[in-house]
Amino acid sequence: MDIDFSTSIPIYLQIISEFKRQIAIGQLKPGDRMPSQRDLAAELKVNANTVQRAYREMELLGLVETLRGQGTFVCRGEGVVEETRRELLDSLVAEFVAAMRSLGLGGQEALELVRKGFAETAAGKGVES
């Protein structure tokens, strides 16, 4: 897990985003044990209170559940993975649309760029920045 200390995005939000991404792509599955807060803080070289805040927020969001004496686990609830994936996709689409509009592109132009990008990626060419 990489944390960007140079960005204005709070560290606890970066931790939450990374765990959401891992859940959305299936790297973390419902019922999987999360790293302990202390271990994750040491690994990331951040204050333990920062990790504690991220875990608390994820609990409030229904992503994880803490079982006293056992640890923190990805929620087993129905649709946790799909809801998380959908939320991330919606956020990415909103950011993309806003960026395209700020560059003066319309919907058709943006869709054509996306089609081209997918085609180039599938052909092994990658997408130019």
Q: State the CATH number of the domain containing residue 65.
A: 1.10.10.10
Claim to verify: residue 69 and residue 15 sit in the same structural domain: yes
| Confidence (pLDDT) at 127 | 53
Claim to verify: residue 44 and residue 92 sit in the same structural domain: no
User: How many Å from the N-terminal Cα to the C-terminal Cα in the chain?
Assistant: 24
* Range of the structural domain that residue 59 is part of: 11-74
Residue that finishes a domain, picked among 74, 99, 114: 74
Please count the structural domains in the chain. 2
Claim to verify: residue 15 and residue 68 sit in the same structural domain: yes
> What is the residue whose two structure tokens read 């993309």?
96
Please report whether residue 129 resides in a domain: no
Q: What is the pLDDT of residues 42-99, one digit of tens each?
A: 999 999 999 999 999 999 999 999 999 999 999 997 788 889 999 999 999 999 999 9
Going by C-beta distance under 8 Å and a sequence separation of 6 or more, which residues neighbour residue 34? 19, 28, 40, 55, 64, 71, 72, 73, 74
Please report whether residue 52 resides in a domain: yes
